[in-house]
A and B are shown apart, each in its own frame.
Chain A
């Protein structure tokens, strides 16, 4: 019988969405052109050659190494690409993804990726053509909503702030804007440098859709532990209690 990873506990939509993000079995909601993704990332001009930090591996005469024989290099590593990044900020107001789940997605599903998790942003670093492919996957998928997530390399402030009146997450550098046609446009790249042209990334999800797709527990949607005076623990919370207790007891080693 083939093993099916279980990833995460719980029967709520949050539990189910967390499992989906971890598994990589994501719904594709939009198709943003590769050149637009590259422009927003801001590392190289769309269509330009990839800068490299070393010759292609095939030309390098690699040493006889069992690990190298076992692990096939990613396209970026094989070509000698430099390591670049994309970093996203997700609003706490029902953005589909959350930093730890972006990291779990990357760690489980993206070869040669180095995820880093903070509270207001989540970064993935990889060889340039690899990170471009991973970033496109993220931006096209249900892990992204264009009003509550945005690519922010710096000055990420906004994940915990109230939303703009039009439902957009606050961005000090105003990298994205809501167009009169209801679509969201990137007008600056991820580090705030103005783009040559506005990039249309499509329409935001409705509030109902966001609440259906989100992975954050909130008492006003899918609750983690109920409310004051009416506690009801999600299965994820109970599993966590168990882990905390075991970790604590493991450290108590009188022998």
Chain B
């Protein structure tokens, strides 16, 4: 029994980081204080800064300014292994500025809106008496894939965008109506039957019904110049123009306003909600992205439906990168420190090990995914076992403890593994959340420390909001998000909450966690980021193997 539960997946990563003959269990070491020169990436930074110094005419990157002359690298600067992959990269490669795959992940979200077609078709048919058939829809989609990247369809003497700069833009449709799907030109269809396992496809089609939706991904370069709030406006303009062309409408007739209204408001699904004025962000910015939507964007659930732990871990990776590194780390705070919080959750197979341990333990005890009763006794059992297991690993492997050198990192990983385990085994995301908070309290009590100041607030009062009925604090986890009360300021939590949301549904075998439209839209094979394997894609980005969209080099002189 103990053998099954102690896979120690992280040992391989630690061996790669510290060397194969290294004693991972020793509590003592020699600190050689080799400085930044020990890291290939820091050396590259120094060389590049030197090269640019004359050109800039002002001083630049110099790690010897750190702490009045004590530079980074007084301890060993170790690389990171992207969990469950073979990619090993420097820590610097996981800062989103240095990682184009991470940037593209966020770009793929904010450049997406989902717009219903049925309302527009009703306007065309009932108000204007036009005929809408599969043929007219295919014609419309051909025009739309010309127009959406930034091309004119009904005006004269218009400027247009260079196709080489906007090639990532595309619009495909999806529907729960198999008969209509059969009639759509395959190049314009997100084929639910082909992309999802049969049982998931049936669930999705039942949820979507006979409605028809457009997954619209505007050019990456547009949202990089503007922001996520632009997406629905850009798309609505091009949709309206396309209707005029495809259905031979008058450009100024009142019905066009109905089509625009549908595209901008009545039939549009933004990827995230607008935030309150004090946060000053429009829709399709990360602060309004619910954990359920985040869970649905990640596509591991359709390629590895048999492994709910892998599903959850990929959602955690996507969520921690977006919420911690980009949202809290940059939009809300600034600086470079937040990367360290996030990487703990998707590197070196640590969260993987703790989570698989928990699920193994739960499977033996309760007999299957989502088979355990969703009650406090079960949560207490699972979260306690996982937390104590994780603590024991940190204590047994001082290099592991050193790897997660901050309490916030350890707290997030221990609590996420506990929450994921509870959610998978009960099929209930609130049970997962309860397990998260119990883990936090256990961790604090065992070691007399937890994370930074913020953990004190959120995690010690957290148990009271798990099952609360109060409207502003009692949402199902899937509907909570980055701006939920108490979650709005705290790194190391939001991505994990998204993972726990997905864990419950992956455990149950659900096709989606919160919204079937989001799940299908992000199955679009033409998206630039690979949403089926988040960690692999981050690894490619770190290894400089990932080609992002939104490039400007086509219209600039070569470097």
Contacts and interface: CB of A to CB of B under 8 A. Distances in A.
Given A173-B67, A229-B1, 4 more contacts: A92-B401, A154-B67, A231-B385, A248-B463
Nearest to A101: B448
Contacts of B396: 219-220
B467 A248 contact: yes
SS class of chain A's interface: helix, strand, loop or mixed? loop
19 contacts: A93-B27, A118-B407, A119-B406, A119-B411, A119-B449, A119-B450, A155-B67, A162-B29, A170-B74, A172-B67, A225-B388, A228-B389, A229-B2, A231-B388, A237-B442, A240-B445, A244-B437, A244-B463, A249-B376
A244 B464 contact: no
A133 interface: no
Contact of A160 (B2, B30, B404, B470): B404
A217 B380 contact: no
Interface stretch (B139-147, B276-284, B451-459, B550-558): B451-459
Given A218-B395, A247-B463, A228 B468 contact: no
A3 interface: no
Contacts of A117: 449-450, 453, 456
Interface string A148-177: 000000110101111111010010111000
B389 A118 contact: no
B391 interface: yes
Nearest to A94: B27
A161 B29 CA distance: 9
A64 interface: no
Contact of B469 (A120, A220, A254): A254
A218 B461 CA distance: 26
Contacts of A220: 395-396
A30 interface: no
Contacts, number: 169
B448 A98 contact: yes
A252 B395 contact: no
Sorted nearest first, the 5 A-B pairs with minimum C-beta distance are A119-B407, A98-B448, A251-B464, A247-B463, A229-B2
A172 B395 CA distance: 22
Nearest to A248: B463
Contacts of A243: 441
Contacts of B407: 118-120, 160
Contacts of B438: 241, 244
Which of A100, A154, A162, A252 gathers the greatest number of chain B CB atoms within 10 Å?
A162
A215 interface: yes
Interface in B371-416: 376, 380, 384-385, 388-389, 391-392, 395-396, 398-399, 401-402, 404-408, 410-411
Interface string B39-71: 000000000000000000000000000011010
A192 B70 contact: yes
A10 B70 CA distance: 44
B26 interface: yes
Interface residues of A, number: 57
A154 to B, nearest CB: 8
B233 interface: no
Which of A97, A119, A120, A161 gathers the greatest number of chain B CB atoms within 10 Å?
A119
B468 A252 contact: yes
Contact of A98 (B2, B376, B447): B447
A249 B75 CA distance: 46
B465 interface: yes
Interface residues of B, number: 62
Contact of B449 (A99, A218, A245): A99
B434 interface: yes
Contacts of A120: 405-407, 449
B6 A164 contact: no
A95 to B, nearest CB: 10
Nearest to B6: A228
Interface in A211-228: 215-220, 224-228
A68 interface: no
B27 A163 contact: yes
B467 A119 contact: no
A236 interface: yes
Which of A118, A231, A237, A240 gathers the greatest number of chain B CB atoms within 10 Å?
A118
Interface in A56-109: 92-93, 97-101
B444 to A, nearest CB: 7
A175 to B, nearest CB: 11
A170 B463 contact: no
B395 A162 contact: no
B380 A118 contact: no
A67 B442 CA distance: 38
A219 B450 CA distance: 18
B400 to A, nearest CB: 10
A163 B350 CA distance: 22
A163 B28 contact: yes
A118 B451 contact: yes
B16 interface: no
Contacts of A97: 448
A118 B444 CA distance: 11
Contacts of A219: 391-392, 395-396
Nearest to B2: A229
Nearest to A167: B28
Contacts of B450: 117, 119
A251 B402 contact: no
A46 interface: no
A227 B1 CA distance: 13
